[in-house]
Amino acid sequence: MARPDKAAAVAEVADKFRESNAAVLTEYRGLTVKQLKELRRSLGGNATYAVVKNTLTQIAAKEAGVEGLDADLKGPSAIAFVTGDPVEAAKGLRDFAKANPALVIKGGVLDGRALTAAEVTKLADLESREVLLAKAAGAMKAKLFQAAYVFTANTAQAARVIDALRQKQESEGAAA
């Protein structure tokens, strides 16, 4: 029979899995408490970073319907539960891991799909959602300007031809 404190911890972690759209599993062995606080601060409101027991995490992941983390749950583990943009959180973890080699990214889950450590790094290499949306909007705007130019090109050309004919008639009329 499960102890009430462990059951509550499992329920809390399962809720975090359900509420987040991504989770990144890390190994924090060798990091100081000060460094962990710095990591939590660097993730900001985009993600929460929690040190969890592997067995409780396995049970909570199964309860939440998250699969693919069991192989990575070895050694001291902590999970970054991402509620905001997963790219920003992955960038924050990658940058912190570069500055502090003791932090090792083991893998993760994005929208129910298991990710390897290499895939988390690829995710971190992507541009942010806002930049991608801005690029898409710019591309659409350029296409709209091209379409507007095509639609107005014929009328503008016709106006220039008519103006040239008018000038030609005026010059012929003045010469005669």
pLDDT at 108 over 50: yes
Give the DSSP per-residue string, 53-72. Answer: -HHHHHHHHHHHT--S-GGG
Strands 104-110 vs 113-116: parallel, antiparallel or unpaired: antiparallel
Average pLDDT over residues 18-31: 86
Whether residues 60 and 144 fall in one domain = no
Whether residues 103 and 145 fall in one domain = no
Domain CATH number, residue 70: 3.30.70.1730
Whether residues 143 and 94 fall in one domain = no
Provide the whole-model pTM: 0.67
Whether residues 142 and 97 fall in one domain = no
Whether residues 75 and 38 fall in one domain = yes
Q: What is the mean pLDDT of the chain?
A: 83
Whether residues 35 and 116 fall in one domain = yes
pLDDT at 1 over 50: no
Whether residues 160 and 89 fall in one domain = no
Whether residues 55 and 82 fall in one domain = yes
pLDDT at 2 over 70: no
Whether residues 93 and 166 fall in one domain = no
Containing structural domain, residue 160:
128-175
Confidence (pLDDT) at 176 = 61
End-to-end CA distance of the chain: 113
Whether residues 121 and 63 fall in one domain = yes
Whether residues 111 and 134 fall in one domain = no
Structure tokens, 57: 């995490």
